[in-house]
Amino acid sequence: METTTLANSGLTCSRIALGTRTMGTGARDSAAAGAGWDRHNALQAILEAVENGITTIDTAPLYGFGESEALVGEALHRGRLRQHVTLSTQAGLDWHDGTPFRDARPQRLFEEVHASLRRLRTDVIDLYQVHWPDLACPLEDTAGAMATLRRQGKIRAVGVSNVTGQQLRAFHAICPLTAVQAPYNLFERGIEEDLLPTARELGISVLGYSALCRGLLSGKMRPHTRFSSDDLRNHDPKFQPPRYAQYLEAVDALNTLARDNGLSGVLPLAVRWLLDQPGVDLALWGVRRPEQILPMLELDGWHLDDALNAEIERILAETITDPVGPEFMAPAGR
Which residues does the annotation mark as catalytic? 63
Separation of CA 90 from chain center: 11
For residue 86, the SS3 value is strand
| Nearest-angstrom CA–CA distance, 278 and 118 | 36
Question: Among candidates 226, 223, 207, which has minimal Cα distance to 286?
Answer: 207
d(CA 231, CA 29): 5
Query: Distance (Å, rounded) from C-alpha 250 to C-alpha 245?
Result: 9
Give which of 95, 77, 76, 74 is closest to 85, Cα–Cα.
76
Q: Which residues contact 274 (CB under 8 A, 6 or more apart)?
A: 184, 185, 186, 208, 211, 280, 283
Q: Which of 45, 14, 64 is nearest to 271 (CA)?
A: 14
